[in-house]
Amino acid sequence: MIRKAAWATVLLLALAACSPKDDPSLIVASGHVEATDVRISTKVGGIVKSIAVREGDAVAVVQEVARIDPVDINLALETARADRDSAAAELRLRLAGAREEDIAEAEAQVRRAEADLDAAHKDLERMQGLMEAGSGTVKGRDDARTWRDLATAGLDAARDRLRKLRAGNRPEEIDAARARLGAADARIAQLQQQAVDTILKCPVSGIATERLVEAGELVSPGAVLVVITNLADAWLTAYIGEPDVGRIRLGQEADVTTDDGQTRKGRITFVSPKAEFTPKNVQTRDERIKLVYRLRISLDNADGLFKPGMPAEAHIRPAGGQP
């Protein structure tokens, strides 16, 4: 029994020493861990009121990360609402048409304008008679003509107003008033959305890796305020030589191990269709001048253990058991 137990212990140690990574048939691809960066930018310009995260903070979905001061938008919204009230009142008046008292007032204005014009004609005739008799002045005659012309224009305007009131509002005038009301409503909706957009929320869970502005700074629309790294969407960018590219397939699993011995399962999701020179961050010149193919191996990294920039190796079993 003692001898059997000893042999069992030796066997277990031997199996532990022979890890899959020591299998000479495995393809080994070296590279660095990367993750998705989400650049949170503002849709509206203005003064940064607050930044709610610092570099290194864990950020949850829909958590507020920054806020733009909405004071200018709120003022514009008040003006837009006043314009909307004015447009609505105008449309109501045009739809209701002219009141009887408005028409009666316009008729009275026409009668007054007719009386003014009649008096102006008589005054001009009198001044012309005085000129013919030699007792009038040129200035007096010219003033009478000016009064006559003004009275004529006043009567034309009064008659035109009365005609419009009797005819009512034309369809195109009502349509124009309705369009002005619609434009005012659209402006209010636009400003309300801008007010909502002053609060910036994170679309993903992750880590705040860059804080690019501080409270009090003036920013333009489109400015990036914070960068969030989504560690759950991580992958290894690795490289293999030409002899190995035909031995792998999309969808294959891989064991990805960092320098400190942490291992994660991964899956090949991209193989470059063309060769390239080894990236310059590879240590030796001999390796840098080799032609290689780039792989992307998506990682199971929900706990965020693998961080961007970590060097790691992928161990891939050849597809279909190829040697």
Tens digits of residue pLDDT in 127-161: 888 888 888 888 888 899 999 999 999 999 999 88
Q: What value does the mean pLDDT take over residues 162-191?
A: 88
CB 273 within 8 A of CB 214: no
Using a cut of 0.75, tell me whether the model's pTM lies above it: no
Residue 164 has pLDDT above 70, yes or no: yes
CATH C-level class of 98-168:
mainly alpha
Q: What value does the mean pLDDT take over residues 106-115?
A: 93
% residues pLDDT > 70 (the chain): 86
Domain with CATH 1.10.287 in the chain: 98-168
Looking at per-residue confidence, does 170 or 71 come out higher? Answer: 71
274-319 residue pLDDT tens = 888 766 554 444 454 478 899 999 999 988 899 999 999 999 998 7
Q: What value does the mean pLDDT take over residues 17-45?
A: 82
State the architecture of 19-68+210-321 in CATH terms.
Answer: Beta Barrel (2.40)
Q: Using 50, 70 and 90 to split pLDDT, how confident is the model at 6?
A: very low
Q: Is 124 exposed, middle or buried (0-12, 13-18, 19+ CB in 10 A)?
A: buried
**How far is 162 from 28, CA to CA, in rounded Å?**
94
Domain with CATH 2.40.30.170 in the chain: 19-68+210-321
% residues pLDDT > 90 (the chain): 62
Q: Using 50, 70 and 90 to split pLDDT, how confident is the model at 4?
A: very low
Q: What HEC string does 229-247 produce?
A: EEEEEEEEEEEEEHHHHCC
**How far is 212 from 201, CA to CA, in rounded Å?**
16
For residue 40, which of 67, 72, 74, 58 has the smallest C-alpha distance?
Answer: 67
Bridge partners of 207, per DSSP, are 58, 229
Q: Which two tokens stand for residue 155?
A: 């009567």
Q: Which two tokens stand for residue 241?
A: 């030589």
